[in-house]
Structure 1
Amino acid sequence: MDKPLTDPEKTILLEAARRAITDYVRQGSFEPVPREEKSLNRRNGCFVTIKKNGQLRGCIGNFQSERPLFKEVAEMAVASATKDPRFYPMKEEDLTDFSLEISVLSPLKKIDAIEEIEIGKHGIYLEKGYYRGVLLPQVATEHGWDRLTFLKQTCIKAGLPTNAWQDDDAEIYIFSAQVFSED
């Protein structure tokens, strides 16, 4: 991530995400409004999290993007609303009460020692064979997890045993995120 987004830029992205979800659920399509701001046109990975009554309702993202950030945010917002396999696709009645959180990501960095993971600063991406799991930096903080619990929970998210992070063929990456929400 280059320089952090400004508050007005964050607002633009949150509004773009909300508009994309609403348009897609109501009309079956969406078209992000082009932006001229340099920071909104850089190629950053991002995750869009949808919450309803404070509970997770969808979360999907990419670590890398070939699209400008404003388009990537809109795409991930729609994917979170309609393609997260943990939830049914949002319907019109779901549009009345939900909140959004956006995480704009730094590039992944492979680590050799788990001591490099800083709770509250880093998210974890774990890869082992065909299994992959990711947890955003704010998840550990929200749940009050320590480093080992964070690693175990990332393994669970990947569909692996909780100690799989210790295996020789497990690869652990960290990343940071600029996280902002409507709340």
Structure 2
Amino acid sequence: MDGRQQKQVLSIARDAVHAAVQGKSCLVPQTDDPELTATCGCFVTLKNRGRLRGCIGRFTSDQPLIELVAEMAKASATEDPRFLADPIAPRELSELDVEVSVLSPLKRTDDPLSLRLGIDGIYIVSGCASGCFLPQVATETGWTAEQFLSYCCSHKAGLAADAWKDPKTQVFLFTAEVFGAAFKDL
């Protein structure tokens, strides 16, 4: 995705967050740009001065990327269960940063330690439990591959920390094109 397309995606996310926080609806612009109408997964992350304020996404989609970005941006601002008791307030909007992660398809791996820290994200599934970390989490935390997998199991999926070693546990890898900006710069 080139810089112009990234800026358009970030503007769509910003507009959706603004509308959601203010209780308004938001129209998503139409485009015939194949990059922006691709059907792929994405996550939208919102931060205020480096502090997480919302992150929601989907691994797959049957809708155009720009529509999914708007939907995930709205959900990140208003539906992330971690922040329901402390939702984003309208006064915070000018202080927010938005980051969009456009995902590659998931690929199951039989060798979870083959993941490339900072490049591969993980999605771990065991029974009804699941959890994921975007690729940038490994870079932000400085975790080793084992820590990345273990924290995802224990803190995100509610599994034992070493559940990723169990052959019944499915581990998927994916990459992401990650870009972001401060709301005030969009």
- CA distance in 1 between counterparts of 2:120 and 2:23 reads 37
In structure 2, what is the equivalent of residue 54 of structure 1? 50
Unaligned runs of 5+ residues in structure 2 are none
- CA distance in 1 between counterparts of 2:172 and 2:112 reads 10
Alignment of 1:123-162 (within 5 A): 123-156=121-154, 157-162=156-161
1:102 counterpart (78, 100, 103):
100
4+ residue runs of structure 1 moved beyond 2 angstroms? 88-91
- CA distance in 2 between counterparts of 1:139 and 1:85 reads 19
Q: May I ask how many residue pairs the two structures share in their alignment?
A: 179
In structure 2, what is the equivalent of residue 67 of structure 1? 63
Cα deviation 1:53-112 (Å, max 9, x = unaligned) = 101110000000111001100100000000100003323223231100000000000000
Amino acid at match of 1:79: A
- CA distance in 2 between counterparts of 1:115 and 1:159 reads 20
1:24 counterpart (20, 26, 44):
20
SS of the aligned residue for 2:81 comes to coil
1:41 counterpart (29, 37, 60):
37
- CA distance in 2 between counterparts of 1:136 and 1:44 reads 15
- Using the TM superposition, name which of 68-77 and 152-161 deviates more: 152-161
- CA distance in 2 between counterparts of 1:158 and 1:100 reads 25
- CA distance in 2 between counterparts of 1:83 and 1:56 reads 14
Q: C-alpha displacement at 1:41, in angstroms?
A: 0.4
Structure 1 vs Structure 2 CA RMSD = 1.1
Cα deviation 1:27-69 (Å, max 9, x = unaligned) = 4322211122111001010000000110111000000011100
- CA distance in 1 between counterparts of 2:40 and 2:81 reads 24
Q: State the TM-score, normalized to the length of structure 1.
A: 0.94
Amino acid at match of 1:65: S
SS of the aligned residue for 1:39 comes to coil
Q: State the TM-score, normalized to the length of structure 2.
A: 0.93
Unaligned runs of 5+ residues in structure 1 are none
Amino acid at match of 1:166: K
In structure 2, what is the equivalent of residue 11 of structure 1? 7
Q: C-alpha displacement at 1:122, in angstroms?
A: 0.2
- CA distance in 1 between counterparts of 2:129 and 2:23 reads 35
Amino acid at match of 1:64: T
SS of the aligned residue for 1:104 comes to strand
